[in-house]
Amino acid sequence: MSDFHILQDWGNALFEGENVLLRELRDDDLPILTTWMNTSGNAIFQTYRVVKQPRALLDDLLKKEHRNDSAFACGYCITDRDGQLVGNFTLEAHAPMHHVFELGIMIGPGFQGKGLGFEACQMALRLAFEEMRAYKVALKVWSFNERAIRFYKRLGFVEEGRLRAVAFHRSDYFDEVNMGMLASEYQALKSARE
């Protein structure tokens, strides 16, 4: 197979996994995503403070995060193979000159625990490291979200440090756990899978 066809096949497979597909944000996704974001039980994992936000504000945020008009940011909706929306993720370079990206992902209620988020994260990492030239992908998670911490460690993220007692929920303070993966760590994991 020629290099042309190898690259063409690779490009075609960027947005298609075994169980999930990545696609652009569509107007009919907005009510679903904003409902998930505004559900207190979901918001507690995403924000410093649980608060109901106006739908227009969340619509604008999602549209901005999913414009895909920059080499240093992208956002995609995650669907199952039948095209049903199951979540979304964003990658944004907070230090563009250093190629350090932050990953944010949300899997909707009813779709968690099925491996869809794991596969979507692997696809996000592939985009970051193999297409966007990331040197590092970082993320933040609250210390009470032990399930997510285990999930990210299973993907290959390493805990890098904590900001102590920065989130206040249910009359208690929680740490912000900072996790990251370097390009060399991603390559090592990729080689081990092949």
Q: Give the tens place of pLDDT for each residue, 48-85.
A: 677 788 889 888 989 999 999 988 999 999 999 999 99
Tokens of 134: 């990331």
pLDDT at 186 over 90: yes
Q: What is the pLDDT of residue 58?
A: 85
The residue behind tokens 């249910």 is 170
Alpha-carbon span 142 to 104, nearest angstrom: 13
> Which tens digit of pLDDT belongs to each residue from 39-49?
766 666 777 67
Q: In what order do the strands lie in the sheet with 85-95?
A: 20-23, 73-80, 85-95, 100-107, 136-142, 172-182, 158-169
Bridge partners (DSSP) of residue 80 are 20
CA angle 37, 41, 44 (to 5 degrees): 75
Bridge partners (DSSP) of residue 169 are 172
The mean pLDDT of the chain is: 90
- Which of 95-99, 118-122, 129-133, 138-142 is least confident? 95-99
pTM (2 d.p.): 0.92
Q: Which domains does the chain have, with CATH numbers?
A: 3-193 (3.40.630.30)
> Which tens digit of pLDDT belongs to each residue from 168-181?
888 889 999 999 99
